[in-house]
A = this chain, B = another copy of it.
Amino acid sequence: MNTHDLIRELREPAKTKIVLLVADGLGGLPLEPGGRTELETASTPNLDTCVRDGVCGLSVPVLPGITPGSGPGHLALFGYDPLEYRIGRGILEALGINFSVGPKDVAIRGNFCTLGPDGKITDRRAGRPTNDKNKAAVEKLRAIKIPGVELFVEPVKEHRFVLVVRGDGLGDKVNDTDPQAVGVAPLTAEGQDAASKKTADVVNRFVAEARKVLAAEGPISGVTLRGFATYPKIAKFADVYGLRAAAIAVYPMYKGLARLVGMDILDPGTTLQGQVDTLKKVWADHDFFFLHFKYTDSTGEDGNFPAKVQMIEKLDAVIPDILKLKPDVFIVTGDHSTPSKLKSHSWHPVPTLLLADTCRVDEVEEFAERACLRGGLGQFQAQHLMLLAMAHAGRLGKYGA
């Protein structure tokens, strides 16, 4: 039986509130053999208090050994099987710039490139234009009209932009037109089925028009397209869990992922304090709150161990403010590990704590990777976390008589 159908069958109304605090890339590694991880190094008195009163474990985002991107990592935390629900690259790119994609859209990653007089690519990144030049070129592309569809062109940065084609019956089984090489012409888009042929036809016309309107732009003289992706068919949070969910995230990508599953997207500004203030403000209006903290990941990606430690401590400092609201279930976890040592996402399981009156407290006393190994949640699939959240919130009835 499908887990979502099971939840729909068992869920019960309750007045309880769940806070899911995601410290992006939370898990880490020691820099040296015998050393401590970032989380083990950080002073986290508030998280440690939660751990002592709660239950801990380590979540496996996808499968052992699989390193997730932000998409699969968050989908799993939201209770969606990350191997079943895949979000295409074009959609993720659109989410990342806060473009509100919808079910009739095909989203595509675009690159500006430089073409020689023979139409062959001489620079795949058009000399890495400034963001201002990018915006100017995007403005020209916005003049292009193709009958039967709506086109949206949005700047990303440097040579990158997003193209969204909106219309009926568009498919995404279209090859990248970026040949990944210079000295050759961009590839023609071809669709693998009728719907995708329609998309291919639109973008081929777009690419031809783009060459005309960009002609005067100097190094920006053409475009390549890749990562064609339709809007994923995904059940909404309210439908599956019966929860009124709010996303309190700073970065567009995470707002976008939350929007995909139907959360209300709030605007907390750009600071952690702003996020906590927003949480307080909307506390009465929602049942579920997804708070996303980016900087544990970005400092890990930078390979900046002390900065990641500092970000963990910064997060720890706001925990009391969150607890003052008395959430019935308070979860702290990550969407994946980002060890400073590796300067990238990794496959290592993610420390997780769950605090609730109904939890079976274990003997873990510190929020850290190795300590969590002794936790009562064991090592569990991240996609099961929402089941635990719902259960501890008194929102799941008995299965079978």
Residues of chain A touching chain B, judged by Cβ–Cβ distance below 8 Å, are: 1, 3, 6, 10, 27, 29-30, 33-34, 37, 53, 58, 62-73, 82-84, 86-87, 89, 92-93, 342, 344-349, 358, 360-363, 369-370, 373-380, 384, 387-392, 396-401
Assuming the contacts A65-B387, A387-B63, A391-B67, asked whether A401 and B360 have C-beta atoms less than 8 A apart, the reply is no
Chain B residue nearest to A390 (CB atoms) is B65
> How many copies of the chain does the oligomer comprise?
2
- Minimum Cβ distance to chain B for residue A381 (Å): 8
Q: A69-B400, A399-B72, A401-B89 are in contact. Are A64 and B387 (CB under 8 A)?
A: yes
Q: A392 — nearest CB in chain B belongs to which residue?
A: B65
Given contacts A64-B384, A67-B396, 7 further A-B contacts (CB under 8 A): A33-B361, A37-B360, A65-B390, A66-B396, A92-B400, A346-B391, A362-B373
Closest to A380 in B: B64
Q: How far is the CA of A95 from the CA of B180 in the complex (A)?
A: 46
A53 to chain B, nearest CB (A): 6
Contacts A3-B63, A63-B387, A400-B69 given; indicate if A362 touches B358 (C-beta within 8 A).
no
* A80, chain B: closest CB distance, angstroms: 12
A153 to B360, CA, bound (A): 44
Residue of B nearest to A66 (CB): B399
Q: Please name the residue on chain B nearest to A386 by beta carbon.
A: B65
Main secondary structure of the interface of A (DSSP, over half): loop
Residues of B within 8 Å of A345, CB to CB, are: 398
A345 to B62, CA, bound (A): 30
Is the CB–CB distance between B10 and A66 below 8 Å?
Answer: yes
Provided the pairs A6-B83, A67-B399, A361-B33 are in contact, do residues A378 and B384 lie with their beta carbons within 8 angstroms? no
A264 → B minimal CB distance (Å): 24
B residues less than 8 Å from A30 (CB atoms): 361
Known contacts A65-B390, A370-B363; A71/B401 CB under 8 A: yes
CB closest chain-B residue, reference A360: B348
B370 adjacent to A65 (CB under 8 Å): no
Chain B positions within 8 Å of A73 at CB level: 400
Q: How far is the CA of A358 from the CA of B82 in the complex (A)?
A: 24
A6 lies within 8 A of B66 (CB): yes
